[in-house]
Amino acid sequence: MNKQDIERLLEDVRAHKLSVARAVEQLRHMPFEDLGFAKIDHHRGLRQGFAEVIYAKGKTPRQVVAIARGLLRPRTNHNVLITRADSSVFRAVGRLTRAAEFHPLSGAIAIRRNREIIGKGTILVVAAGTSDIPVAEEAAVTAEIMGNKVDTIYDIGVAGLHRLLHHRETIAAARVIVCVAGMEGALVSVIAGLVSAPVIAVPTSVGYGASFGGLAALLAMLNSCASNVSVVNIDNGFGGGFVASTVNRL
């Protein structure tokens, strides 16, 4: 439940559209709801501006559905995001709500109930190579479901800089940029050196042996000479999209 949900609830009580008893019932599970195997944080939206996100990996489809059901209470209209899901989880969630949309490359499931744009500008998600798209897609879906206009540009790595420069106007117009790259991670420094916007760097585990599963890209991004770069964890597209959305709301 987010701030808008609480305000709507109180307005309904004031307008006598909802009884005090019914309002109390809807607030009963706050601040969290204990399912035994999980504690749903219903205050997350109030504290951080977006509802709790379900990380599906390591959970059974039944567990994911139970958490999603708790987040989809009728009096709320916030969006729900499930990350790192597979087709079996999507099938189970699809039986819960027909609004579920599956993004198979990233494993993200988006349940959109509110399409309002609250971000101040455009978040641009760029990927160095095609192999980085799954992580980039997770970032894009996350930023979009959090109420932002999102553009994407893929396969513009430093092995062919003319591809990047072809999109220079789009890159310069973005309010926040999420840059996803594996291998040596050089794209982040190149893009950050072209813009005044904050750049959220997302290293990926794409690369050959000496990339050490993304560690080489991570260290390169942390050591970027561009001062407008911040870095999230390896393959953490969700984190990149979330931070970008937080910046874009300011």
Contact 209, 109 (CB under 8 A): no
User: Which residue reads 């999507």 in tokens?
Assistant: 90
b/e for 152-190, b at 16 or more Cβ within 10 A?
Answer: bbbbbbbeeeeebeeeeeebeebbbbbbbbbbbbbbbbb
CA distance 156 to 126: 8
Residue 119 DSSP symbol: -
What pLDDT, on the 0 to 100 scale, is given for residue 114?
A: 87
**Taking every pair of C-alpha atoms in the chain, what is the biggest distance, in angstroms?**
66
Token duo for residue 148: 């932002």
Global pTM reads: 0.85
The band of 184, judged by pLDDT with boundaries at 50, 70 and 90, is very high
How far CA 91 is from CA of 49, 57, 88, 99, 172, in Å, comes to: 28, 15, 5, 12, 40
CA distance 80 to 52: 8
Phi, then psi, of 43 in degrees rounded to 5? -90, -5
The band of 225, judged by pLDDT with boundaries at 50, 70 and 90, is very high
What pLDDT, on the 0 to 100 scale, is given for residue 18?
A: 84
pLDDT digits (tens, 9 = 90+) for 95-143: 999 999 999 999 999 999 889 899 999 999 999 999 999 999 999 999 9
3-state secondary structure 28-89: CCCCEEECCCCEEECCHHHHHCCCCCEECCCCCHHHHHHHHHHHCCCCCCCCEEEECCCHHH
What pLDDT, on the 0 to 100 scale, is given for residue 154?
A: 97
What is residue 228's three-state secondary structure? coil
What pLDDT, on the 0 to 100 scale, is given for residue 29?
A: 60
Domain ranges of the chain: 3-111, 122-249
Residue type, 182: G
CA distance 158 to 199: 17
What pLDDT, on the 0 to 100 scale, is given for residue 41?
A: 82
CA distance 45 to 229: 27
According to DSSP, the β-strands at 176-181 and 122-127 are parallel
Mean pLDDT for the chain overall: 91
CATH 3.30.70.2190 fits 122-249, yes or no: no
